[in-house]
Structure 1
Amino acid sequence: MTLIDAPEGLWLGRVWLPDEHGPAVVTLRDGIVTDITSVATPTVSHVLDLDDPAARVRTAPGVGLGTVDNIAAAPVELDHIHFLAPCDLQAVKACGVTFAQSMVERVIEEQAAGDPARAEAIRARVGQAIGESLQDLRAGSPEAAEVKRALQKEGLWSQYLEVGIGPDAEVFSKCPPMASVGPGAEIGLHPVSTWNNPEPEIVLAVSSTGKILGATLGNDVNLRDVEGRSALLLGKAKDNNASCAIGPMIRLFDETWTLDDVRRAELTLTVKGTDGYDLTGHSSMSKISRDPEDLVAQTLGRHHQYPDGMVLFLGTLFAPTDDRDVPGEGFTHKMGDVVTISAPGLGALQNVVRLSTEASEWSFGTRRLMENLAARGLLDGPTA
């Protein structure tokens, strides 16, 4: 697996430094992971709120820490240097139901009340009623409103269709700041779940003023049975120990890579099980029903501020329906599954599936970060 497939890009991320018992802000220079942490920019959040983050990353003095491959191969343990999620103080937000195909699967989850054995029959019924009619709709458009009225008459209207094609996007908090795991780490499933799946997504890096500055990859781990029982269980379905993976690094926008590349991005997902199971799936950003700029504007603005910035999952087209074991029950994870999400220009994010109760506990939060930076003398001067 190639962690970074475009070394010519402008990269921003984080690694764990064992000798400092804390994180470093890093970039990539000539294949070398380079520490650019400073008093002025002790966190990724600080970097992204500069007037010109790209210029800072290009020119900041740095210290080489090792090659990408060597650091990526290291154990994700406190006594080894290893990659972390490339965000720190930012809010971690996520958009749901932004693709027609995944929207239909959410309707099926709701209709099945979280029971995978009922999903296939409901999928056939919903497919007959909806067919392909939703895929070319623009959310919030007059055409979408007509589809809504038609579905209501058929008794098939759903809260998921409302946020999928209605005027307002679904935006939720995926996890607290500092809780995301990075490449190579274990990802966690709550032990109550028996029907779940990975969600390969683009994740935008956004400043506190709403500027979209770059992007990375993410796995918005999903518990289909939990959310399917009730949408009010979204927090339990989405926010658990190690349930959010982001990485490998943020690729900042520059003359070689822009938001239009995000709009054209093609994501590939692979799941390889210890039982020999092998799944490949795809998500095409060109099929999203809401533009990334619209999703950012619905999340951050005069109505809601994020003074430390945010990272925003954009949703996924991928909805696995092929049976893994029991006919009619579709896909679900098994412990030890290796999940890899990749996209040209953004590299690859790979994690191993565990129970949230067995993955490493989250213990390094915002307070620990501030204490660590202060002990290292990184909070002694200006921070802008």
Structure 2
Amino acid sequence: MLPQDSMEAALIGRLSTDEGPVPIAVIENRVFDLSGHFATVSEMMESLAPGEALPKGRDMGPLAALGLDTAWASDAAPRLLAPVDLQCIKASGVTFAVSALERVIEERARGDAAGASAFRESIRKQIGSDLGAVRPGSEDAMRLKAMLIEMGVWSQYLEVAIGPDAEIFTKAPVLSAVGTGHWVGVRSDSHWNNPEPEVAILVDSAGRPRGATLGNDVNLRDIEGRSALLLGKAKDNNASCALGPFIRLFDAHFTMDHVRDAEVSLTIEGEDGYRLEGTSSMRKISRDPLDLIAQTIGKSHQYPDGFILLLGTMFAPVDDRDAPGQGFTHKPGDIVQVATPRLGALTNKVCLCEDAPPWTYGIAALMRDLARRTSVMPALVTA
């Protein structure tokens, strides 16, 4: 799960313990409990200046010696959690040309996977597939918009793909994301869905990008395809957002340019022997990560505990898994791995949302656990 250059990486995360979740640092592949310094990951980002060295805290030993197990194999603690806590979980959509076209296809097919292939060919003939060459909000983009309206193929998805305003939405409630090794959920009433392998940026309350991690923004294509107004039902469900394994902080060894150049791989392995591999290249993103951050936070919207922003994906699998013309959809038991060399690997197993472990640990539970830890009482009083 570690980056290839892990000995140089400044990694932070959260670990479940019998006393509740604790913020941790992984330094030279050793785990350090930082709960004596910071109550939460959010507080850590608000307290440490960008580039400031992490305190080592209590040495818990080598990461490999902690006996971390996957949630589907064992319920025993400790286990890695999603590496954010009080931060809002935001996402940006339709940031790649390929995914923009697929959203248009979903919309035209009204969420019907069987009818999507015919629409796909028709849309590509009319629009082409090189939307990535158009800078969103530019004069060229506005001329293209006018042409597409005249052709009768304009879509709300093309508006956010090439228009001045990005699609930014709340993906999941605070504390609801799952970490690596956990179940990830799809709704039982969805019959056309897929993972979305993404890079996510951690941002503090001042709007400064502090680090990056991997994410799986699970997507229910049939539900959103019926109507964009069903975005909440398609996106925000039990275990529908995975983040991790760690936040890699920006420093001399890891910068935003590494994010811009990242190649994010996706592997899906089914219990039926099915295997799918794909790649999402951050070089093909239509909006720079800094632009997406600027459209998320500013004078009109603040985040006092910071936020994490999923940057979108170009990956939308269209190969048939079962019947011809049905495309790809998840099956319970699928193992999904999202990976890139400088951030490691995020691995989850698919189940139905109603079969995933219920989300019961919320903000009130976190506050109760923090109040029981005498080591963090000064931080709580200050807050």
What TM-score bracket applies, with the shorter chain setting the length?
Answer: over 0.9
CA distance, structure 2, for counterparts of residue 97 and residue 304 of structure 1:
21
Q: In structure 2, which of residues 127, 134, 139 is the aligned counterpart of residue 137 of structure 1?
A: 134
SS in 2 for 1:367: helix
CA RMSD of aligned residues (A): 1.5
Counterpart for residue 184 of structure 2: 187
Aligned positions of 1:236-247 closer than 5 A:
236-247=233-244
- Report the Cα offset of residue 32 of structure 1: 1.7
Counterpart for residue 14 of structure 1: 14
Counterpart for residue 357 of structure 1: 354
- Report the Cα offset of residue 361 of structure 1: 0.5
User: Aligned AA for 1:333?
Assistant: H
Q: Deviations over 1:334-359 (max 9, x none)?
A: 01000000011000000000000000
Counterpart for residue 69 of structure 2: 73
Q: Deviations over 1:198-225 (max 9, x none)?
A: 0000000000010001000000000000
Counterpart for residue 299 of structure 2: 302
CA distance, structure 2, for counterparts of residue 245 and residue 69 of structure 1:
24
Aligned positions of 1:28-67 closer than 5 A:
28-38=26-36, 40-52=37-49, 54-57=51-54, 59-67=55-63
- Report the Cα offset of residue 49 of structure 1: 1.1
Counterpart for residue 97 of structure 2: 100
User: Aligned AA for 2:28?
Assistant: D
Structure 1 stretches of 4+ moved >2 Å? 2-6, 53-56, 59-63, 68-79
- Report the Cα offset of residue 30 of structure 1: 2.7
Aligned positions of 1:109-148 closer than 5 A:
109-148=106-145
CA distance, structure 2, for counterparts of residue 106 and residue 65 of structure 1:
46
Q: Deviations over 1:140-184 (max 9, x none)?
A: 111111111111111100000000100000001000010000000
Change (3 A) 1:121 1:256: same
CA distance, structure 1, for counterparts of residue 65 and residue 143 of structure 2:
52
Matched, 1:168 2:168: no
SS in 1 for 2:43: helix
- Report the Cα offset of residue 293 of structure 1: 0.5
SS in 2 for 1:361: coil
- Report the Cα offset of residue 36 of structure 1: 1.3
Retained in 2: the 8 A contact 1:6–1:347? no
Retained in 2: the 8 A contact 1:12–1:252? yes
Retained in 2: the 8 A contact 1:200–1:318? yes
CA distance, structure 1, for counterparts of residue 110 and residue 255 of structure 2:
41
CA distance, structure 1, for counterparts of residue 23 and residue 4 of structure 2:
20
- Report the Cα offset of residue 302 of structure 1: 0.8
User: Aligned AA for 1:12?
Assistant: I
Retained in 2: the 8 A contact 1:47–1:56? no
- Report the Cα offset of residue 96 of structure 1: 0.3
Retained in 1: the 8 A contact 2:97–2:130? no
Count how many residue pairs are aligned between Structure 1 and Structure 2.
379
- Report the Cα offset of residue 61 of structure 1: 2.5
Aligned positions of 1:199-238 closer than 5 A:
199-238=196-235
- Report the Cα offset of residue 378 of structure 1: 4.4
Percent identical residues: 51
Q: In structure 1, which of residues 242, 245, 250 is the aligned counterpart of residue 247 of structure 2?
A: 250
Change (3 A) 1:29 1:208: same
Retained in 1: the 8 A contact 2:88–2:173? yes
User: Aligned AA for 2:154?
Assistant: W
Retained in 2: the 8 A contact 1:3–1:349? no
SS in 1 for 2:332: coil
Q: Deviations over 1:60-116 (max 9, x none)?
A: 422215424744435466532010000000000000000000000000000000000
User: Aligned AA for 1:291?
Assistant: D
CA distance, structure 2, for counterparts of residue 181 and residue 33 of structure 1:
20
User: Aligned AA for 1:163?
Assistant: V
User: Aligned AA for 1:101?
Assistant: V
SS in 2 for 1:135: helix
- Report the Cα offset of residue 41 of structure 1: 1.3
- Report the Cα offset of residue 190 of structure 1: 1.1
Q: Deviations over 1:103-137 (max 9, x none)?
A: 00000000000000110000000010111341211
